[in-house]
A = this chain, B = another copy of it.
Amino acid sequence: MKTSPLKGMRDYLPAEQRIRDFVQSEILRVYRASGFERIATPVLEDMENLDKSEGGDNLNLIFKVLKRGEKLQKALAGGQEKDLSDMGLRYDLTLPLSRYYAANKEQLPSPFKVIQTDRVYRAERPQKGRLREFVQCDIDILGDESPNAEVELIDVTARALMAIGFRDFTVHINDRRLLRQMLEGMGFAADSLDSVCVSFDKLDKIGAEGVAAELREKQCPESAVAALSAFLEKGQVGLADVAGLCADKSLGDNVRYVIDTVEKLADGAYAVAYDPSLVRGQGYYTGMVFEVSCAGFSGAVAGGGRYDNMVGKFLGQKVPAVGFSIGFERICAILLDQGFTVPAEKKRLALLYAPGADFAGVLATAAQLRQEYAVTVLAAGKKVGKQIDRLAQNGYAAVCFADKYPEIKTIQ
């Protein structure tokens, strides 16, 4: 039988799991103190719900569960591949939350400030080094259309990141509508905007000329490409510049409001910046989007945005919604990489007993010692010296021989 976990999935050794539990509990502590409440939904969702969820590329990465019994026989006889499966593993926590809110709205407060920390699944190509099973830590506010919801999510997420020791991070903010209105005003076709955004997103990497070249390759109208190039050549792509090109003035004002308010709250502890090319992959975002980057690490450590239309698909009634997700795996990987160790609540002590000892007495001694230590009960090995060396290597601070209690030997 195979001993390794499946491709793209991981076993966690005790030391790494300690870090994961610590990170999760610190994040939960900050979220809860801020009045958010945790919920849980199943890992499996109806396949039709997943298919219609506007998850962008993630829809191609869904693990599908085979039908069972008669239904499977019927599907096999029909010969249609899509009929073989009736449910799938969720690719994020936003679709399940939208379904959940629609199902339970009457029993939930409004606005609903909610926590989810749970596993999600994506059938990524393993050679990319990406995980196929990973944990996301999300907070969402449902039922609040004001930009204060964005401000609060950023404030709470930033405080959670600081609680686990992150510093020197920047919150990047954009509004998709701002970008799209600007591009449409320049003459890009409305149905090409998704593709144009993908190119524009690379501004940091390939520069204004690179973006223009890519857009020409995509056969965008030359006048539109020229207008964008002219705009970028001025070198000023600040919020006022972009907002000035948009018909709807409230969009720029709202982004400005969020940035200014968060800057006051951050008080220099972290940075907030308008990022004209920030798009994010999910199709379901409708307004502001945000991302957190951290000095010294490529890629985002958190991301989110407003998705005002998703709950309505389930409920038939529009419910404004905005969410922010911490990239739990990335955070844990960075901490592990930095040699982070979890502050221990109690020192660890090994209680060693000889063969034939009165085991009820040994466990009673352990109960006594637990008032001060985390106690592991172990049979003494034949080579006790070596055993104690190994215990010290594994993080034990003390040893007690059951027959010599209350004598305790410190080993590091």
Q: Report the Cα distance A44→B119, complex, angstroms.
A: 12
Q: A379-B146, A394-B109 are in contact. Are A14 and B2 (CB under 8 A)?
A: no
Say yes or no: is A374 at the interface (Cβ < 8 Å to chain B).
yes
Nearest residue in B to A4 (C-beta to C-beta)? B103
Verify if A214 is at the interface (C-beta below 8 Å from B).
no
Contact A72 B81 (CB under 8 A): yes
Cα(A87)–Cα(B84), bound, Å: 15
Question: Which chain B residue shows the least CB distance to A376?
Answer: B35
Q: Note all chain B residues with C-beta closer than 8 A to A280.
A: none
Judged by a CB distance under 8 angstroms, whether A390 is at the interface is yes
Cβ distance A402 to chain B, nearest Cβ, rounded Å: 12
Q: Which of B4, B68, B348 contacts A123 (CB 8 A)?
A: B68
- Bound together, the chains give a CA A43 to CA B66 distance in angstroms of 16
Q: This chain: how many copies in the complex?
A: 2
Residues of B within 8 A of A136 (CB): none
Contact across chains for A133 and B43 when beta carbons are under 8 A apart: yes
- Residues in chain B near residue A72, CB distance under 8 A: 81
How large, as a class, is the contact surface on chain A? 35 or more
Asked whether B1 lies within 8 Å of A13 as measured between CB atoms, the reply is no
- Residue A144 CB within 8 A of the other chain: yes
The reply to whether the CB of A282 lies closer than 8 angstroms to some CB of chain B is no
Say whether, besides A72-B81, A76-B81, A12 and B40 are in contact (CB < 8 Å). Answer: yes
Minimum Cβ distance to chain B for residue A266 (Å): 10
A168 in contact (CB, < 8 A): no
What are the residues of chain B within 8 A of A37 when measuring CB–CB? 14, 17-18
A48/B265 in contact, CB under 8 A: no
* Complex interface: chain B residues within 8 A of A35 (CB): 348, 350, 374-377
| With contact pairs A6-B46, A313-B1 given, residues A14 and B33 touching in the complex (Cβ less than 8 Å) | no
Are B66 and A40 neighbours in the complex by a CB distance under 8 Å? Answer: no
Q: Are B66 and A265 in contact (CB under 8 A)?
A: no
Q: Which of A335-350 contact B (CB under 8 A)?
A: 346, 348, 350
A363 located at the interface, meaning its Cβ lies under 8 Å from any Cβ of chain B in the complex: yes
Taken residue by residue from 231 to 244, chain A's Cβ proximity to chain B (1 for < 8 Å, 0 otherwise) reads as 00000000000000
Interface core residue of A151, A363, A394 (most chain B CB under 10 Å): A363
**Min CB gap A71→B, angstroms:** 12
Residue of B nearest to A64 (CB): B66
B residues less than 8 Å from A313 (CB atoms): 1
> Does the CB pair A152–B346 fall under 8 Å?
no
Interface membership of A32, Cβ < 8 A: yes
A-B contact pairs, 29 of them (CB 8 A): A1-B48, A3-B99, A3-B102, A3-B103, A5-B99, A6-B44, A11-B40, A11-B41, A11-B42, A11-B104, A13-B39, A13-B104, A14-B37, A14-B39, A14-B108, A18-B37, A20-B40, A32-B374, A33-B346, A34-B370, A35-B350, A35-B374, A36-B376, A42-B133, A43-B43, A65-B89, A111-B378, A148-B379, A265-B364
Beyond A34-B374, A66-B84, A151-B359, 8 additional contacts (C-beta under 8 Å) are: A1-B314, A2-B49, A33-B370, A42-B133, A111-B378, A151-B363, A261-B359, A261-B360
> Which A residues contact B (CB, under 8 angstroms)?
1-6, 9-14, 17-18, 20-21, 32-46, 48-49, 52, 63-66, 68, 72, 76, 81, 84-85, 87, 89, 99-100, 102-104, 107-109, 111, 113-114, 119, 123, 133, 144, 146, 148, 151-152, 155, 261, 264-265, 313-315, 346, 348, 350, 359-360, 363-364, 366, 370, 374-379, 390, 394
